[in-house]
Structure 1
Amino acid sequence: MPRRALASLRSMLAEADDVSPNAHAFSAAVKACSVLRDRNAGACLHGSILVRGFGDDDIVLSALVDMYGHASAPSDAQKAFEEMRAPDGICYTSLISAFVRNDWFEEAVRWFRSMLMMNGVRPDGCTFGSMMTALGNLKRENQGRQAHAQVVTRGLCGNVIVESSTLDMYAKCGSMVEARKVFDRMLVRNEVSWCALLGGYCQNGEYEKVVALFREMDKKDGDWYSLGTVLRACAGLSSVKPGKEIHCRFLRMGGWRDVVVESALVDLYAKCGAVDYAYTVFEASTVRNTITWNAMIGGFAQNGHGERAINLFDRMVREGPRPDYISFVSVLFACSHTGMVEQGRKYFNSMSNNYTIAPGIEHYNCMVDLLSRVELLEEAEDLINKSPFRGDSSLWAAILGASATHSNPDVAERVAKKMMELQPQYHLSYVLLENVYRTVGRWEDALEIRRLMESRKVKKEPGMSWIDANRSKLCVGDVDEAASASELVASKEIDIYQDSAYNFHGSA
C-alpha cells in the first residue's frame, strides 16, 4: 500500500496542472515514506513539497517530522519542526518520539520541557510514553518520578503505553520495587508490560524472579522476546534444566530462525558448560548476528576450549559479521588460557589498527594475564604503564600473582608496592608478597609485611559460594581449610625464624 500511494502521487505530479496534489495528498505520501523508512524518497518528496508551495503547511510539516524520525534523521526532523508556525501537541510528540527513536534522549527531555511551557499544548499518552523511555535510558529516576506524578494528575494511568513505559523507566533505573508496583496496579497488561518487567528483573540480576514471573504468564502471552529474556536469566543462574524446558517450548511454538532466542540458547548452554549443545544450536542457526558469534566464542573460551574459540573467531572474520568489543575480549581470553602469545599480540594490535576499537580494561586484563602466564612479566608491566588504565589495581594483581608463582621478588616488590598505593586495604597484595619473600628465604622482609598488615588492620574477606540443591539456594561460607593451613604454616615459619634469630643473637 505505501508504494501504491507513492505511485499515485507520481501520477498526479505527471498530470496537467488541473490535477495538482494538495496538502493532504503530500502528507499521505510522506507517511508512506515513513512506513518504508525510505529517507531518500522522503527527501525527494520534501523537495517537491517546497516547489509546490506547501513548505509552510503544518499538516505536511508534521508528516515530515515523523518521516525523518523513522528514517534515522532526527536533525532533519527538528528542522522541519522549526518551520511550523503553530505546532500543536501532536507535532511536539512526533519530534520527541523522533529523538527517542534515534537515542537523542537529552534533546527529547529538552523539547518536552519546552512543550510544557507552551500555552494550549498538552502532552498526551504517547508523549509521556516517549518521555519515560528517554528518562529510563538516561537513568534519571527523580525526573521519572516527577513525570509519573504528572501522568497520575493528568489521568493517564489507564493508558497501557504510558504504564508500560513507566514500568520500564523504573526498571532501567534499578528501582524494581517501584516497577513491580506499577505492574501490579495495571488494569490492562499486554506482552510489552510483561516483557518490560521480565527485562527489568533480568537487567538487575534478579534471575529467580524472572523465571518465577515467566511461569505466571499465560501461555498466549509468551513471545520470542520474553523467551529470550528468560533464557538469559537461566544462563545467569547456570540452570540448564529450566533452560531446556524453554527450548522445548520454543520448538513447540514453531520457533525457528529467531536470532534473539537462538543467541540466548547458545549463551545458556555455554554458560552451563554444555558446549556441544551450544555449538549444535549455533550451527543450526540460519541467522547469526554478532551476539550469536560472541556467545559461542565466549562459550568455548570460558569452558577451556581455547583453540576452538580462536578458530571460530577467525571464521567470524572470514564469513560472519564484523567483530566488536566483546568478540576481542573472548578471543584474547582464549589466547591467555592457551598461551598463544603471538596470536594474542596480533589480535590486540588489530583492534585499533584494523577495527578502530580502542582496547578497554578487559582487553588489557587478558593481555596482562597472557604475558604473565608465560613469565613475560616485564613486558606485562610495560603494557600496563603505557595503558590508560595504569591506575587500576586489577591489572597489577595479575602480574603480582604470576610473580608469586614464579618467585620473582624484584617484580613482586614493585607491583605489590604499586597495589598498596592504589588499594591499601587489599589483602592479596600483602599475602602474595609475603609468600614470595618466604619462598626465596627473605624471612625478615616477610615478617615486615606481616607487621605492616597488622598495623594497617588489613584482613582477608571471607568468600561466599551459592549452590543449587533441591530447588533451593544454599549459601556456603569460605572455610578454605587449605588456605587456613597455609596461613598457619606461614605464621609458624615466621615464629621459628624469630625464635632462631633471638637464640642466635642471644647466644652470641
Structure 2
Amino acid sequence: METQVLGTRNLHEALDRLAQSDAALDPASYGALLKECGNARELALGKLVHSHIAKHGSSDRDTFLGNFLVHMYGRCGSIDDARRVFDRIRLRNVFSSNIMIAAFTENGDLASAKNLFDRSTVKNTVTWNAMINAYVGAGAMEEAKDLFKAMPVRDVVSWSAMIKANAGRGDLEMAILLFKLMDLDGVRPNRVAFMCVLEVCADLEAITLGITIHELIREAGLESETKIANTLIHMYGSCGSIQKASEIFELMPHKSTVSWNSIVSAYAWSGDLDQAQHLFDRMPQRDVVSWNSMLAAYSQNGHGDRALELFLVMDPSLQNEVTFVIAANACASQAALEEGIAIHSRAVFYGYGSDTLVANALVTLLGKSGSVEGAKSAFDRIRSKDAVSLNSMIAIYAANGSGEAAVEALRSMAAEGVSPDSITFMSALSACSHSGLLDLAWGLFPCIAGDYGIAPAMDHYVSLLDLLARAGRIDEAADLIAHMPFEPPVLAWTILLGAYNAMGQQGSNAVERSMELEPENSAHYVLLSNLKSPKNRGRV
C-alpha cells in the first residue's frame, strides 16, 4: 500500500488512493505525506492524512507523528491545530519544541514562540536559532542581539543569521565585524555567510576585504559554485576591479542568466557600455533583469536615446514597472515629453498605471519638461504617495522658483501621513533659496529635528547659511556656523567670507579659517587680498 500511495508524483492522486484504503501506513510513510502536504500548503489534504492516522489506530499523541503533524499544520497556517496536536504529544522532545516555535514564528505569533522558548527545559542550537530568526524577521534586532549573546554555543547558522540581518538593515560595519568574530570563534563560514559579506564588501567598495574573503572561499572549495561566483563578480564589479570580475566569469563552468546579468552590470558600472552591450548581445537567454540593467546603464550614463532605442525592441511581455520607470527617466533626460507620455500610456495599458514608481517617474518627466501644472496633476493622481513622490514634486517647485508651493506640499503631505526624509527638506530649503524666502526657510529649519526627528545634515545647514548670507544677515549666519554640530565645511566659510567681503576683521578671520581647511584653493588668497585692499584696509 505504501508503494502505491507514495509511488506517485501527484500529491492529490496519492491522497485519493489513501482515502480509498482501509490499511494503515507505517509512521515513516505518514510522515512523508504530512511533510509533502505542509510544503505544498495543502491544509485540507493534511487533515485527510491526520484523519486516516486516527481512523486506523495510529495515535497523533506519538512523538514522531505528532511532530510531523505540528509541522504540517504550522506550514499550512493553522496554528490552533498545530498547538492542539503539540499539547497532545505524550513525550515531547526538543524537536517538538523547535517545530512548535517555528510554527509560531512562521505565523507571526512571536509572543507565544518566546513563551514556549522560555518554558522549554531542553534547548539545542536549533532552538536558539529559530528564536533568533524569529526576532530578526520581526525587525526586533535588539532582542535578537541579546539572545545571540546569551547562546551557550553558536554555530554557523547563528552567525550567518546575524550577519545577514545586520547587512539587510544597513549596518554594514557590524556585519563585517560579526564575520571576523565568527572566524575568531573557530566557526567556518557557510555559503550564506560568504555571499552576505561579499555583498557588504560590494556596498562598501571594500576591495581589500573582498579579496581576503575570496581567498577563504577558494580554500573552502566553493569558488566554482555558480551562486558564489555570481556574488564575486558583483563584488569585484562594484569595487571597480572589472578585470577580476571578467576572469571569474570566464572560468565559471556553469553560467546562469544571473551570471550574465552580473558581468553585464559590472561593465556597465565601470562605464564600458560597449563591452556591456557586447556581452548582452552574447547572452543565450535574457530575462527582465538583463534588459533593465542595460536600459539603466544607458540612461544613467547620459545615453537616454540609446536606452529608448533598446526599450523599443524589448519584448513587451518582459517589461515590468522598473522597465517603464527607467524608460520614462530616459525620456526625462532627453526632454522627450511626447515619447515619455507614450511610454506611460503603455505602462497603464499593461496594468502599471497605479504603481507608485511609475507614477513618480511621470511626475519627474513632466517637471523636467517644464510642465509644472502637468506634474502637479500627475502628482495629485498618485494613489499611494511616498517620500519619493513628495521629493520629486518639491524638486520641481524648487527648479521653477516656487518656494511657497514646495513648503505647502511638504506640510500637506506630512499631514496625510507621508513621512518626509532628509532629501525632502533639502529640496524644500533649496526651493526657498531659489525664491529668496528666508523667513520661510528659517521657520522650516527647526522642524527638521523638532517635528520629524531627522538630524539636519551639513547640506541643510549650508543651504540656510547661503540664504542668510545673501540676505545680509551676517551675524545670524556666523552664529549658525558657530552652532553647527560638526566641523563647518570650507564651503560654509567661503559663503560667510563672501558676505563679509568688505566688512573688516571678521572677514579676515573667515578667510584664514577657509585657508586652514583648504590651503590649496587660490580663491581664498585672492579674497584675502581684496579684504586688505586700500578701500578695505581701514576695516581689516
Shared fold by TM > 0.5?
yes
Provide the rounded CA distance (Å) in 2 between the counterparts of 1:345 and 1:59.
Answer: 56
* Aligned with residue 110 of structure 2, among 42, 61, 72: 42
**CA pair 275-204 structure 1, distance change in 2 beyond 3 A:** same
Give the structure 1 partner of residue 216 of structure 2: 150
Give the structure 2 partner of residue 378 of structure 1: 475
Q: Which amino acid aligns with 1:313?
A: L
Give the structure 1 partner of residue 98 of structure 2: 27
The share of aligned pairs that are identical, in percent, is 25
Give the structure 2 partner of residue 127 of structure 1: 193
Number of residue pairs the alignment of both structures matches = 434
**CA pair 367-110 structure 1, distance change in 2 beyond 3 A:** closer
C-alpha contact 1:164 1:193 (8 A) present in aligned 2: no
Q: Which amino acid aligns with 1:151?
A: I
Matched, 1:292 2:399: no
TM-score by length of 2: 0.65
Provide the rounded CA distance (Å) in 2 between the counterparts of 1:210 and 1:24.
Answer: 58
Deviation by residue 1:224-253 (Cα, 9 ceiling, x = unmatched):
456556766776x56657866764564454
Q: Which amino acid aligns with 1:189?
A: T
Deviation by residue 1:301-347 (Cα, 9 ceiling, x = unmatched):
13322222122112123224233322221222222222222222111
Question: Matches of residues 478-493 of structure 1 in structure 2 within 5 Å?
Answer: none
**CA pair 93-247 structure 1, distance change in 2 beyond 3 A:** same
Matched, 1:317 2:383: no
Provide the rounded CA distance (Å) in 1 between the counterparts of 2:409 and 2:259.
Answer: 36
Give the structure 1 partner of residue 139 of structure 2: 72
Q: Which amino acid aligns with 1:27?
A: N
Q: Helix, strand or coil for the counterpart of 2:85?
A: helix
Q: Helix, strand or coil for the counterpart of 1:321?
A: coil
Give the structure 2 partner of residue 349 of structure 1: 446
C-alpha contact 1:179 1:197 (8 A) present in aligned 2: yes
* Aligned with residue 176 of structure 2, among 72, 93, 109: 109
**CA pair 415-91 structure 1, distance change in 2 beyond 3 A:** closer
Matched, 1:96 2:191: no
Report deviation, 1:25.
4.7
Report deviation, 1:436.
7.9
Question: Is the deviation greater in 383-392 or in 362-371?
Answer: 383-392
Q: Which amino acid aligns with 2:84?
A: S
C-alpha contact 2:354 2:383 (8 A) present in aligned 1: yes
Provide the rounded CA distance (Å) in 2 between the counterparts of 1:368 and 1:310.
Answer: 18
**CA pair 412-117 structure 1, distance change in 2 beyond 3 A:** closer
Task: Structure 2 unaligned segments of length 5 or more: list them.
Answer: 1-40, 42-74, 271-292
**CA pair 104-378 structure 1, distance change in 2 beyond 3 A:** closer
Give the structure 2 partner of residue 208 of structure 1: 301
Q: Helix, strand or coil for the counterpart of 1:322?
A: coil
Deviation by residue 1:351-398 (Cα, 9 ceiling, x = unmatched):
233333332221122212212222223322332233245642212333
C-alpha contact 2:299 2:329 (8 A) present in aligned 1: no
Give the structure 2 partner of residue 11 of structure 1: 84
Q: Helix, strand or coil for the counterpart of 1:190?
A: helix
Question: Is the deviation greater in 408-417 or in 5-14?
Answer: 408-417
Report deviation, 1:420.
3.9
RMSD, aligned CA: 4.4
Question: Matches of residues 225-236 of structure 1 in structure 2 within 5 Å?
Answer: 225=322, 228=325
Question: Is the deviation greater in 101-110 or in 211-220?
Answer: 211-220
Matched, 1:328 2:425: yes
Provide the rounded CA distance (Å) in 1 between the counterparts of 2:133 and 2:260.
Answer: 23
Q: Which amino acid aligns with 2:435?
A: T
Matched, 1:338 2:435: yes
C-alpha contact 2:466 2:495 (8 A) present in aligned 1: yes
**CA pair 234-197 structure 1, distance change in 2 beyond 3 A:** farther
Task: Structure 1 unaligned segments of length 5 or more: list them.
Answer: 450-508
Q: Which amino acid aligns with 1:188?
A: S
Deviation by residue 1:230-279 (Cα, 9 ceiling, x = unmatched):
766776x5665786676456445422343344445544554565544543
Provide the rounded CA distance (Å) in 2 between the counterparts of 1:68 and 1:411.
Answer: 56
Report deviation, 1:117.
6.1
Q: Which amino acid aligns with 2:518?
A: Q
Provide the rounded CA distance (Å) in 2 between the counterparts of 1:68 and 1:358.
Answer: 28
